[in-house]
Structure 1
């Protein structure tokens, strides 16, 4: 059964194609973000582009686009040379395209030109927006405000084990000319491409779980193209670095450019080898400071000992002089005491002699012979001196002693005193 005016799907879509070509006959400059991008082995580039009403807003349009091999190679080289990055997903571009429609494949855009100046400006604006956001949040200099130990021995390294820069870093660090010992630990991460941010953040999260084991974190990109630097103009990576509790060193830049991640790090260096050199030099400075402090301590101790010896010598001299003075004073006192003692002894001896003489005189006066010469007599009986009349009785024979001799007599009568 048929209806009047019926047409096939091919005929309908052919009408759509004709209307599109009629309404959009020329080419147009279009702003869109590359959502997906694949390069065919034949050299053709297939993209999915999206559009938003405001930058960074919700996707409101989506379309397929193609850059044929005849155009893609030259466009990509020119774009890379102008912006510093190759065409890739995640960037916004301004391109000239014609609208194509095929009944089987639908609508697509055929890109013939790309203005790299727009992308460079857009990337710069995005970069500036990230910097302003970090500044407004007050975190831009948080990591640089941390204190890096003088000898960063335990090092967490965020990098790819296959990168030449990582091997250069390890060789320069481990085989340093001073023989310093370091303990680097690799936390594997993707350092270029669309998964860079998620991979680096995941590595930082793993480090944070054992943060007390590390003195410093090193993020090194080495071995990749300088055009891959833009992957580190990421708010997510930069914010994680600002919040990290230990200093972060970066070696992901090159001579002219610096990523946002470099800006928020404790210190940014140009290459992985430069990062290793910085760590070695900081350790050498630490060693020199220790040596300098040791020398200063030795000098201070020697100075203190010399001063103490001088004080001791001075004290010894003063003590010797004082001792001599004391001895001299004591000797003078001793001589003085000896003189006084000698005089006192002589005086005592003189007085003792005088007393002895007086005693001798007294004894001489008391000598019986002397007493008899003075006219006194002694009476004895049978050789015993009679001291009292009561000792005698009538009839006793007594002898009377005189100085010139004796006389014997007999007691006739005893008269006692009343």
Structure 2
């Protein structure tokens, strides 16, 4: 399997390569990378194309046409050839032999002694360069392409001049011969290894202008390195940015944010799997406190450092309510390894970040722009230690407060117990007094009840004795009166009894429904009737109605 990056047509870039642990670790430094477990490839959003190409171009990756076009459209500075590999910009030898309108040429002269061979031409140009630059000159530029050739005896690379925004203005090929390289490395060791020769650092070389005759290649030959220039330029640039941030009033904005009493929800920005990553997680884990750490991978060296760290800060800022503090960490290295944190954009982003930011970059003696605008702890381990110490102080305050609360509670309980005992004693005395009073009142009521009961019983006996004499007499009177009333009613009922009328020769006519017929006009001819007489009944039938003589 070759190393290849392809655009999938759906706003993502697929990264395929044979397994390589170093490459996997580099891919993991991309903040938005994802792993497709089923098809075994990594992928990133197409918006990260510049970061991806700059990360992988020197590792033999091929980039398809869509990826190359997208890289160029988004401002990529590398020149990618047809195969998609990074290459130097085209030289005069790469241009077409004929361009524009072809002029009419005079007939060529016949070959003669004045003709030059290619080697003769290159030699003459070399002599001209030597005449124009008879002595070495000091040349300032940024190293590019050094890392991919560092394993060779003689290292070929480029020196680049860049604009303020990082774009390439000019470049020249350079060659560092083995003997000069060993001398420069000895010079760096004697200076305490402040940095090493690698891509993307600014240097000042003493060079000899040269042309390599076999290839016709214009180049500079490295003779000497100005160690102090690289260190001084980095320090000058850092101090200038710090002055700008102080002038803008940003140097103490983030440091004025108070760490929460329990800062256990931690965001960590660093290279995944790095020493800084492991040191921070180990320190927090071994503390015994319940730290909840969320890690966002970021590049911590090279030009991708600024956009990568800014992307991580934006991610945490969008989720600020989930975190108490943010750590930005990078392990030790040369001084030039840390200059990628010395940018104004990073300084402003950290200074204005809504959560407390803790910086742990480099060694004890190292200093970056970020250390000037946030809590500076020098090393990743010290940054983690600050949080551990803060948690320990919070726990100590909690324990002290708990002890004070327990002491106050014990004193309060003792006072309450004494007060309760006093109240209980007073309550018992009051209760006995009130019981005695109640008992006296109860005895008095008892005597009154007994006296009243005796009086009431005596009065009732007297009323009962009187009633015993009155009841029989009254009962006889009422019986006699009732008997007279009953006899009077019986006489009246006897007088109105129909049977008495029948006994005097009259009859009572009833219809079949037992109703009494009292009006002859209501009788119907042929209607059967029952006549009740003094002795017995007669069934009769209506023949006709006879007019009443009283009506004639």
TM class, shorter-length: 0.5 to 0.7
Q: Distance in 1 between matches of 2:204 and 2:408?
A: 72
Change in 2 beyond 3 A, CA 1:261/1:80 = farther
1:55-94, aligned counterparts within 5 Å? 61-79=170-188, 82=191, 84-94=194-204
Provide the C-alpha distance between the structure 2 equivalents of 1:209 and 1:81, rounded to a whole number of angstroms.
47
> Is 2:125 aligned against 1:19?
no
How far off is 1:8 after superposition? 5.1
Corresponding residue of 1:112: 223
1:15-414 matches, cutoff 5 A: 15-38=124-147, 39-51=149-161, 61-79=170-188, 82=191, 84-102=194-212, 104-176=215-287, 179-222=288-331, 228-265=337-374, 267-303=375-411
Offset at 1:100?
0.3
Per-residue deviation, 1:185: 1.4
Q: Distance in 2 between matches of 1:55 and 1:275?
A: 32
Moved more, 26-35 or 254-263: 26-35
> Secondary structure, in 3 states, of the residue corresponding to 1:249?
strand
Query: Aligned partners of 2:212, 2:339: CA distance in 1, in Å?
Result: 37
Q: Provide the C-alpha distance between the structure 1 equivalents of 2:407 and 2:255, rounded to a whole number of angstroms.
A: 36
RMSD: 3.5
Offset of residue 119 of structure 1: 2.0
Query: What is the aligned residue count?
Result: 320
Give the CA deviation at 1:128.
Answer: 0.7
Deviation at 1:251, TM superposition (A): 2.0
Deviations 1:143-176 (A, max 9, x none): 1111111211211111223223322322221232
- Partner of 2:255, secondary structure, is helix
Shift in alpha-carbon separation, 1:123–1:81, aligned structure 2, 3 A: farther
The whole-number CA distance in structure 2 between the counterparts of 1:158 and 1:58 is 27
Question: CA–CA distance in 2 between the matches of 1:223 and 1:128?
Answer: 21
Provide, for residues 351-385 of structure 1, a one-character-per-residue CA deviation record: whole Å limited to 9, x for no partner: xxxxxxxxxxxxxxxxxxxxxxxxxxxxxxxxxxx
Q: CA deviation at 1:304?
A: 5.1
Indicate conservation of the 8 Å contact 1:80/1:86, yes or no.
no
The equivalent residue for 1:379 is none
* Contact 2:365-2:378 within 8 A present in 1 as well: no
Are residues 236 and 308 of structure 1, via their aligned partners in 2, closer, same or farther at CA, if it must alter by over 3 Å? same
* CA distance 1:290–1:60, shift in 2 (3 Å): closer
Alpha-carbon spacing, 1:274–1:55, altered in 2? closer, same or farther (3 Å) = closer
Could you say what secondary structure the match of 2:403 adopts? helix
Secondary structure at 2:183 match in 1: helix
Task: Provide the rounded CA distance (Å) in 2 between the counterparts of 1:207 and 1:230.
Answer: 23
Residue 13 of structure 1 and its aligned partner are, at CA, apart by: 4.5
Displacement of 1:98 in angstroms is 0.9
Higher relative contact order (CA 8 A, sep 6+): 1
Distance in 2 (CA, whole Å) between partners of 1:149 and 1:280 is: 13
Change (3 A) 1:22 1:275: closer
- Out of 102, 108, 115, the position equivalent to 1:2 is 108
Shift of 1:112: 0.7
C-alpha deviations, 1:69-99, integer Å up to 9, x for none? 2212331452365371112334332221111
Paired with 2:268 and 2:344, the residues of 1 have a C-alpha distance of 20
Which residue of structure 1 aligns with residue 93 of structure 2? none
Instruction: Give unpaired runs (5+ residues) of structure 2.
Output: 1-106, 431-552
Q: Is the 8 A contact 1:32 1:92 kept in 2?
A: yes
1:217–1:247 Cα contact (<8 Å) kept: yes
Task: Give me the TM-score of the superposition, normalised by structure 2.
Answer: 0.51
Question: Which stretch shifts more, 115-124 or 310-319?
Answer: 310-319
TM-score by length of 1: 0.66
Q: Secondary structure at the match of 1:32?
A: strand
Distance (Å, rounded) in 2 between the aligned partners of 1:221 and 1:58: 26
Match of 1:350 in 2: none
Task: Answer whether contact 1:253 1:269 (CA < 8 A) is retained.
Answer: no
CA distance in 2, matches of 1:20, 1:3: 29
Q: Distance in 2 between matches of 1:175 and 1:284?
A: 13
Cα distance in 2, alignment partners of residues 43 and 205 from structure 1: 44
1-structure distance, mates of 2:263, 2:123? 70
Unaligned runs of 5+ residues in structure 1 are 324-418
Structure 1 residues 80 and 243: alpha-carbon distance in aligned structure 2, compared to 1, 3 A threshold: farther
Per the alignment, residue 366 of structure 1 pairs with none
Is the partner of 1:143 in helix, strand or coil? coil
1:79/1:114 contact within 8 Å kept: no
